[in-house]
A and B are shown apart, each in its own frame.
Chain A
Amino acid sequence: MKSLYISFFALSLLTLGACEKFLKTEPSDFLAPSNYFTTEKDLNNALTGVYEVLGHSALYGDYIFYQYDITDEGVYGHAALTNGVQVYNFAPSNPQIDATWRALYVGIGRANLLLENINKPDMNENKRNIIEGETLFLRAYYYFLLAQNWGGVPLILETTKTADDTQRPRASLAQVYEQILTDLKKSESLVQPIGALGFGGRANKSAVRGMLARVCLHMAGYPLKDQSKYAEAKYWAAKVINDTEAGHELNPSYEQVFINLAADKYDIKESIFEVEFWGNRSDAYSESGRLGTRNGIRCLNPDLGYSLGRINATPRLYQRYDEQDKRRDWNIAPFIYPSASSVTPVYWAPENLWQRSSGKYRRQYEVVKPQSTSFSPINYPIMRYADILLMFAEADNELSTTSMPSDSAVNFVNLIRRRGFGLPMDQAGIADVSAGDRSSKASFQAFLRDERSRELCFEGLRKGDLIRWEKFISEMRATASEIDMIAVSGYKFEARAGFNVSEKHLLFPIPSDEMSLNRLLKQNPGW
């Protein structure tokens, strides 16, 4: 019996000693950050994760063009929707706003993690630099979207290390923009030229420069109004234009730019940076988006490119175009395919300017078959050469000391217009900026603002533009009044967004969840 006592005691002791080992378990279905980032491939995978956020439904997968891009160009075309971001009737607890805020900070967090580990693997320094440059571009772009939509936001440049380190105050808008510029400028020195890439789906020198121009224009406008940034904007736009190596030029056909996007073709001369979408969800991937399905031509025939056509162009946008401007009937579809069996388009009556779908992204050109009714592989154009030209012209005009626009500015705009009219680029005449419109700095400014809409409508730029020009509220009101006046009674609801807009809508509210979790945040005015 004594031996039993002893063995029991010994067993206990043994167990004690073995406990530490016994209690040590290792995860088998995931890795730890500390033992990742050891190879170039690891860095590239992490970079993929930073890009992936772009295609999130809260960004270019859906909301940006479907929920948020409601301006004087297009409105939400469904009567039953009375609440939501689309009609500017929403609260700080709105789930879409919350999802976008989250997605952007997820993207920033992923970028921060990659940047912190960028020097870990042994690898080719050039390749490392490219990865770093692309990451910086994306982080800057996510902050740019935050700054445009929320103003000064918490500036997070390092990964969250512990669960207790969560309370962060808002930085000033100027601080956020400074960081954006810093990141973009560093990125510009690191990323590859677009020619080396051969496609527009990765950050490249032209994209970064174009983005610098865009950021600078925003800094020059409301609310920062840092006039000095016009020169910088012009500098960066010019850098793209004068980049002979990249050789950017407009595609001779306006329509072809968007047909290419739908047909999964790249055009690195014109389309400088795109959000890539892929597939039709008939597999396990979810990399397709909703561009063209949410905001395509209303078409209920699944074989012709199904779309509910939820975004209707406004009469105001329609009337902005010259009769001969071919961009009008491309951007604003004059027809629909009303039923599942429709094979021929049904045209709207000429006076019906309120029911026309935005027609920029046409699903009939998709090459991935079979087509999903909800998702498309159409890439989203974030930066086009046309925008570079228009940005140059705008910055140049603002900088003009002569009260007249410069010839180079006007000429760039003429290129865009001739192309829009379907004319050869060297054919001066009807398409060109009229003498009146170029007669003064102010008239050219007004003309340019409309021209941006004609050229870039439904590309997610308008709201930001209107806000930086301090035209958003007035323009929305005017659009609504027009709809209310001319639309038939069943379609007067399209005026909702314009009538509901108020000062507070210049910024989104900080999501209510975030407000309650981060006590250092202050809500935007009016919310």
Chain B
Amino acid sequence: MDLKLVKPIIVAMTCLLVCFSYEYGSAQAQQGTSKQVIRVTGTVSDVSGKLPGVLITIKNQPKSKTLTDVNGMYSIDAPRGSTLVYSSLGYVTQEITVSEKTQIDVVLRETTSVLDEVVVIGYGSSTRDDLTGSVSEINVEDLQKAPVFSVEEGLAGRVAGVNVSSDDGQPGQEGINIVIRGANSLTQSNSPLFVIDGFPMEDPENISLNPDDIKTFNILKDASATAIYGARGANGVVIIETKRGQIGAPVVTANVTLGFQNVTKRMDVMSPYDFVRYNYERDAQTTTERYLQNGLTIEDYKRTPGINWQDKLFQQSLRQVYSLSIRGGNEKTKYSISGSLTDQEGVMINTDQYRYQGRFVLDQNISKKVNVGLNVNYSRFGNSGQIASNANAGSGGSSYLMYSVWGFRPISGRSLNPDDWDDEDFEQELIDDDIDVTMDYRVNPILTAENEVRTSVTNFLVANAFMTYDIAPGLKLRVSGGIESRIRKNQSFYNSQTSKGTPLFPNNTRGQFGTVDYREKSSWLNENTLTWVKNFNRRNRLEILGGFTLQGANSEGYGFLSQNVPNESLGIPALDQGIPGATNTSASENTLASFLGRVNYNYRRKYLFTASFRADGSSKFEPGKQWGYFPSAAFAWKIKDERFMKSLKFISEAKLRTSYGLTGNNRVGDFSRLPQITNPLGASYSFNNGTPSTGAIQSSLGNLNLKWETTAQVDFGIDLGFLRNRISFTADVYRKTTYDLLLNADIPATTGYTKVYKNIGEVRNEGLELTLGTVNIKTKNFSWNSDFNISFNRNKVTALAENQNNMLSTVSWDNGYSNEALYIATLNGPAAAFFGYLTDGLYQVDDFDLSPSGTYTLKISEPSNGMARYRIQPGDIRYKDINLDGEVNSQDRVVIGNVLPKHIGGFNNNFRYKGFDLNVFFQWSYGNQIYNANRMMFEGNVTNKRDLNQFASYNNRWSFENQDSKMYRTGGGGQTGYYSDYYIEDGSYLRLKTVSLSYSIPKKLLQTNMIRSVELSVAAQNIYTWTNYSGMDPEVSVRNSTLTPGFDYSAYPRANTLVFGLRVRL
């Protein structure tokens, strides 16, 4: 090396070194003037291992900070005597004073006190300690342990005041209903407003969310919390935030779960012997012709097992979930990328659901004052298969899937030998030859389920972005915007081996047919808020929020039907070869403009005040009715901070809250207010044998006076903590009064219309919610935490339309009952109660005069049951003759059951032992009743169908040999069209809903630094249900609405799930 060159380099390096040393020295010199600086190193960990990404700062020196690395190591220069602050989300912040030690290892405790947690509320956040409203947080970690397809499925019982139930078990079409603090609206949706990553959605397609992506899940319940969402806040607000990137090295999480599902229960149906015996009693002549030929006797049927249709329809189904996420970032850029695949077969053949989903989240710090963020979720999800609770071909109770499953004969009578069945018998035939196809739409349930094509697939994109600008200290502008786009495609095809497509039903006019239907919906949102926070003289804190938002939504749909399709084997792609049938197109739009404001003020963090106001203008209403104004106010008093409480050491927290406010509901159609002239094809008429001419009709009356529905809610709450918050307790009482109900009201037919939207009626919900959280055991290796919640809600209609004192509702399932009211909403009673006839046991032999010829004639002193008196026989159903006129008719109907639970709740337990983690979760509903219409068909055969199999329970029916039976005799069900309490059952249940056991493999066993953790788990859902309900599952409501809950007919069975999981973090 040339020395000439070396020299300048040495000089330069020396210079640099000198410069560096100078810098170093001056820094030292500066600090040295106050305190001596030492370098502190160490590791930060929690009970399960090292913690990366923990922020370490020096108190009162905001510029000095560092993060722990991947191995939890850190090093920081700190003056002796200063305080190091270790903080990480989810952990209790710890402070350590720097003394002589240069090695400081810290073990962080996970947050047990929730008070310091940040709670996301509408247009902002608060610490739990400073909340004035009633906000419930769902423990997302517990929720994620449940092996469910969508988060909603796991919600039931998690939070007080939130009633979550599904209509039945249909994959992807469960109809999950989330009702917060009781239903306000009688005919309109009661589902809460969802705000996902700041984006409010009335119809959020929660199925598109990957439960693993969720970071926080909060439910705003009282008016103080919800009124900031104004016109859409009345049903409560659910705020979901998804996971974002965190500072630190990339964390890769891969997750695989595989498992199985099975039906939770099957119904016992009659054996061939019992079946023939029953039918013989029902109709001896036909039964003899069909089953007792060639010397066969009823007894002979004991020898044959018959066909078990349920076994053929139900399957053990596969469930698989794969997900992968990468999250990381630095102080300027944080990112999160995640994706998942979920595929879940149904427990009935040829049904399933799936979701493919990806999410990208980016947070970028542009400058000191400007931050931007982006959050995009794309999801494609769908489901397929026959919907059990929907009618198939024909009409009436016989056109439902489960009717065919339970009702199909176990034996045809043609042969007793099971080996013959496959070839000659009806297992291969769609329609049982012996049924009357004009009155009974029973089909081979296996063939139709296998052949029916029904799919629904949705592409759903949500993208939103925000920018915040710190205008000045304490003053922040946030501008956000987003779009949402969903395209749903529904398709169906019915070939000749399906109930709807078979030519064997004479009412099938379409031959083999199919439909394709597209629905597109897109919406956009812009929100602009300004927040100003100011502390005055250390005692007063003021936070002011103001803003305005604009949003719009467009929807359109188009679809067609093609019938008499010539090549049915080609299915949907060849629909164009069929004859075009009905087409449909639609388009609609709505806009919403809002101004909002909120003031939070507290004095010494002890007296907390919140007032909020929102004005919403909606295009759904006429000018003049468009704007709704929704104020609220709340006050909280942290009584624990008062001097007189200081002595009560065992109380660690005490806060009183109260709030009052107005919220709204605008869930009507975009143009429900307008009268409509339409030209539907159905209004055509053929003149002179010509192609039908177009008809123009006014298809809706419209109501230009339509306006918001308003809910006024008052809430009192108390939050208590004991023994350093090892016990925490929250209680809330509330009263919600909803007036100007948006009601799709029935109007007299003389108007020329059937229904019109009106603002009428008033509904009140009152309730009490209690939540108790306890840390039962906490030692180094073992801990046990419990959470218990219970809620009571009472619902009352305080005013109805047109001075009505009741409102009747029907449910559709069988023609004989289609106009019979099963539900009544009475003034000063609940919005729904079962309505019908009260049973009075059965007619017994003593109630009759026996003639010498052996005929029983009902004594004149006994009331009839709606049938002609001569047809009433011993063992028939008997009703109470309420008005004592000797006849039981529509005048004798009364309230016969209550549909709403008296209380609901959940009980969650977490056990932790070293690397093992056990979660046991119970959920219940108590006091609600169910109308079990399945029993009308299968425990008595009220529609009097031939060769219809029955539940095995009906073997115990009344007969002259079995007069103690409570079940009416064969054919003794009385008048068709009578709903009675005979079929009402207690729907209370306690469900062991989730059990999950996981084990984290200790780091030392992994023997590599590549892998942060490996967790094995086994989880089960719907494990066991304690109930008196005789049907398949007590969580059922196949015609669910506020007015018609708790009806069971042909529900898709509920599944229990068992999955095995592996989670690896790199």
Interface residues of A (CB under 8 A from B): 1, 4, 8, 11-12, 15, 19-20, 22-25, 27-33, 36, 42, 44-46, 48-49, 51-52, 54-55, 78, 80, 82-83, 91-95, 98, 101-102, 105-106, 108-110, 112-113, 153-154, 156, 159-160, 162-168, 198-199, 201-202, 264, 266, 276-287, 306, 308, 372-375, 511-514, 516-519
- A48-B693, A518-B750 given as contacts; is B509 within 8 A of A23 (CB)? no
Check if A95 sits within 8 Å of B693, measured CB to CB: no
Known: A308-B438, A374-B508. 14 other contacts (CB 8 A): A19-B593, A22-B619, A23-B618, A24-B619, A25-B619, A27-B670, A27-B671, A32-B674, A42-B696, A98-B749, A278-B692, A282-B579, A284-B561, A516-B804
Check if A93 sits within 8 Å of B750, measured CB to CB: no
Q: B692 to nearest A CB, angstroms?
A: 5
- A83-B976, A168-B748, A284-B580 given as contacts; is B588 within 8 A of A23 (CB)? no
Check if B509 sits within 8 Å of A283, measured CB to CB: no
Check if A4 sits within 8 Å of B681, measured CB to CB: no
Give the complex CA separation of A324 and B682 in angstroms. Answer: 45
Give the complex CA separation of A281 and B753 in angstroms. Answer: 27
Q: B748 to nearest A CB, angstroms?
A: 4
Check if B696 sits within 8 Å of A45, measured CB to CB: yes
Give the complex CA separation of A283 and B617 in angstroms. Answer: 44
Check if B750 sits within 8 Å of A105, measured CB to CB: yes
- A32-B675, A83-B977, A276-B685 given as contacts; is B695 within 8 A of A45 (CB)? yes
B1015 at the interface (CB under 8 A from A): no
Chain B residue, CB-CB nearest to A374: B507
Interface members, chain B 893-919 (any A CB < 8 Å):
none
5 A-B pairs whose Cβ atoms sit less than 8 Å apart in the complex: A8-B528, A110-B698, A163-B747, A308-B438, A518-B748
Check if B588 sits within 8 Å of A28, measured CB to CB: yes
**Chain B 489-520 against A: per-residue CB contact (8 Å), 1 yes, 0 no?**
00000000000000000111111000000000
**Chain B 567-582 against A: per-residue CB contact (8 Å), 1 yes, 0 no?**
0000000000001111
Check if B617 sits within 8 Å of A33, measured CB to CB: no
B75 at the interface (CB under 8 A from A): no
Give the complex CA separation of A405 and B747 in angstroms. Answer: 51
Q: A336 to nearest B CB, angstroms?
A: 15
Contact residues in A for B750 (Cβ distance below 8 Å): 105, 153-154, 156, 166, 168, 514, 518
Number of A-B pairs whose CB atoms are under 8 Å? 265
Q: A35 to nearest B CB, angstroms?
A: 8
Give the complex CA separation of A61 and B702 in angstroms. Answer: 29
Q: Which 10 A-B pairs have the closest CB atoms?
A: A109-B752, A278-B686, A45-B696, A49-B695, A48-B695, A160-B751, A518-B748, A281-B509, A373-B506, A49-B697
Give the complex CA separation of A168 and B681 in angstroms. Answer: 31
Q: A338 to nearest B CB, angstroms?
A: 14
Q: B876 to nearest A CB, angstroms?
A: 14
Among A78, A93, A98, A156: residue with most chain B CB under 10 A? A93
Check if A284 sits within 8 Å of B748, measured CB to CB: no
Cβ-defined partner of B977 (8 Å) among A54, A91, A277: A91
- A48-B696, A98-B819, A276-B689 given as contacts; is B591 within 8 A of A22 (CB)? yes
Cβ-defined partner of B701 (8 Å) among A82, A163, A280, A518: A163
Cβ-defined partner of B752 (8 Å) among A80, A112, A287: A112
Chain B residue, CB-CB nearest to A373: B506
Q: B972 to nearest A CB, angstroms?
A: 14
**Chain B 144-155 against A: per-residue CB contact (8 Å), 1 yes, 0 no?**
000000000000
Check if B748 sits within 8 Å of A49, measured CB to CB: no
Cβ-defined partner of A110 (8 Å) among B618, B697, B802: B697
Give the complex CA separation of A4 and B475 in angstroms. Answer: 12
Contact residues in B for A80 (Cβ distance below 8 Å): 436, 439, 944
Q: A501 to nearest B CB, angstroms?
A: 13
B626 at the interface (CB under 8 A from A): yes
Give the complex CA separation of A54 and B626 in angstroms. Answer: 41
Give the complex CA separation of A91 and B591 in angstroms. Answer: 47
Check if A201 sits within 8 Å of B509, measured CB to CB: no
Give the complex CA separation of A341 and B684 in angstroms. Answer: 36
Check if B684 sits within 8 Å of A287, measured CB to CB: yes
Q: A148 to nearest B CB, angstroms?
A: 17
Cβ-defined partner of A282 (8 Å) among B548, B563, B975: B563
Check if B692 sits within 8 Å of A109, measured CB to CB: no
Q: B257 to nearest A CB, angstroms?
A: 45
Q: A350 to nearest B CB, angstroms?
A: 26
Give the complex CA separation of A515 and B688 in angstroms. Answer: 39
Q: B285 to nearest A CB, angstroms?
A: 9
Check if B818 sits within 8 Å of A95, measured CB to CB: yes
- A15-B593, A163-B701 given as contacts; is B748 within 8 A of A514 (CB)? yes
Chain B residue, CB-CB nearest to A515: B748
Q: B568 to nearest A CB, angstroms?
A: 16
Give the complex CA separation of A513 and B591 in angstroms. Answer: 37
Contact residues in A for B670 (Cβ distance below 8 Å): 25, 27
Check if A287 sits within 8 Å of B758, measured CB to CB: no
Check if B752 sits within 8 Å of A106, measured CB to CB: yes
- A25-B589, A202-B687, A287-B685 given as contacts; is B697 within 8 A of A32 (CB)? no
B583 at the interface (CB under 8 A from A): yes
Contact residues in A for B754 (Cβ distance below 8 Å): 102
Give the complex CA separation of A141 and B747 in angstroms. Answer: 24
Chain A residue, CB-CB nearest to B866: A91
Q: B919 to nearest A CB, angstroms?
A: 48
**Chain B 617-661 against A: per-residue CB contact (8 Å), 1 yes, 0 no?**
111000100100000000000000000000000000000000000
Give the complex CA separation of A190 and B502 in angstroms. Answer: 50
- A15-B548, A83-B816, A281-B509 given as contacts; is B689 within 8 A of A105 (CB)? no
Q: B519 to nearest A CB, angstroms?
A: 13
- A45-B695, A95-B818 given as contacts; is B477 within 8 A of A12 (CB)? no
Chain A residue, CB-CB nearest to B801: A517
Q: A372 to nearest B CB, angstroms?
A: 5
Contact residues in A for B321 (Cβ distance below 8 Å): none
Check if B675 sits within 8 Å of A285, measured CB to CB: no
**Chain B 732-757 against A: per-residue CB contact (8 Å), 1 yes, 0 no?**
00000000000001111111111011
Q: B33 to nearest A CB, angstroms?
A: 37
Contact residues in A for B61 (Cβ distance below 8 Å): none
Give the complex CA separation of A373 and B746 in angstroms. Answer: 35
